[in-house]
Structure 1
Amino acid sequence: MSSFLSSTANITHSSRLPKGTTRAQALSMLSDYEFFLSCDPHLDKFERIADPAGSLDSAPSVPDSVKSQLRRSSSSSPDPVPTPTCYRVTDIVHAIPAGIWDTNVVSTYEFTDIKDGLFVRIRSPLSIVMDTFWQIREVEGEDGLLELVEDVNIQCSRLLIGLVKSQCENGWAKIHAKMISRLEEEGKTGSG
């Protein structure tokens, strides 16, 4: 795709986490990939896949910009760069103009744990790629209060950028709400 035909968009959303939520609880929630996928308001089904390379333009790998942010094990020797954990995800998307996609959109999600959260690369039909950093950060000026920050970079055709951006804008609040609800429940039961 030439740069004349492609476009990018950046979106950031943030939500305060329930008071008393620990960084460990929030990171554990983000690393629960199946729970993460269940937060998608358009989700129809998903399955873990061992080797999605045959269905992608390139094999899944951790981008160089993410490698320095990897969440490492506590051992003294550095872990090798992991291969992302991959899922095939089917979403039902009704806002797509007829003929561009079916209403069932099958994408590949690549998950990589990072120090402050999770990096997710989503590869969808028509050369759509979304790179998202989900991070747990301290709220400035609020001692001990944490927030969930979602930074999305969308890369796709100029013809589709508005549609993809709209889907992100229309779904983020439901995704964050389900994550916050889980953390509230963990706070009540003392689990996590």
Structure 2
Amino acid sequence: MSFLTTTANMTHASRLPRGITRAQALAMLSDHEFFLSCDPHLDKYDFIPPSDHASLTPPPSVPDHIRPQLRPTSSEDPTPSGSDEDSRRADATKTEEGEEAVPKCYRVTDVVHAIPAGIWDTSVVSTYEFSDIRDGLFVRIRSPMSVVMDTVWRVREVEEKGEEEGKDGTGLLELVEEVTIRCSRLLVGIVKGQCENGWGGIHAKMIARLEGK
């Protein structure tokens, strides 16, 4: 890694309401268009079909350390049936033997007013690469000026003494977001600050979806 670039790591976690099941939480994460709607700076997004992936630089791919965690596409897939997401999932991650794992990609435009003048334009266009994994979701975001942000979202059981299991037999779950930022040393503080300022609202919107609000 160049001495001009650096890496920053962050972890954020939110307790899920009692009664929410693992399957419900995974289904929420698998709804990639809902995921995009949680972006507080979102202006618009467009699906990028696999036939156009070759035009992206670099072409999207699933990192080697994520491949063993990929969630098989099957009848047990948590995505709600009959949704637009289902038809698009046909072009998403492939996990059958002999098939190449391909992320599902979107071109996303954010409007960010808090960026210092001269760093980026107010409208920031990024590429999002989604790969469903067994316990959550892997998202790679490629933004201008060689900013790359990898996030692993996991649905995890909470092991806490003194907590009783719910009457419906479901244990306590939490949503964990593990972020790795790779970018210029000049930009890392800005990118990290955007993440720290926005994660609470994103988690809140996801939890509201699970609660049916």
- Shared fold, TM over 0.5: yes
CA distance in 2, matches of 1:108, 1:185: 29
Match of 1:102 in 2: 121
Q: Gaps (5+ residues) in structure 2?
A: 76-94, 166-170
Q: CA deviation at 1:53?
A: 3.8
Match of 1:82 in 2: 101
Give the secondary-structure state (helix, strand or coil) at the position aligned to 1:64: coil
The amino acid of 1:61's aligned partner reads S
Among residues 198, 205, 209, which one is paired with 1:171 in the alignment? 198
CA distance in 2, matches of 1:173, 1:53: 35
CA distance in 2, matches of 1:5, 1:178: 36
Contact preservation (8 Å) 1:108, 1:124: yes
1:147 equivalenced with 2:182 (yes/no): no
CA distance in 1, matches of 2:106, 2:73: 23
**CA RMSD between the two structures:** 1.5
Match of 1:9 in 2: 8
CA offsets, 1:27-64, max 9 Å, x none? 000000000000010111111011244242x1101000
Match of 1:161 in 2: 188
CA offsets, 1:85-117, max 9 Å, x none? 000000111111112211100000000000000
CA distance in 2, matches of 1:172, 1:135: 15
Of all paired residues, the percent bearing the same amino acid is: 70
1:54 equivalenced with 2:55 (yes/no): yes
The amino acid of 1:67's aligned partner reads R
Q: How many pairs are equivalent?
A: 182
Q: Gaps (5+ residues) in structure 1?
A: 187-192
The amino acid of 1:114's aligned partner reads I
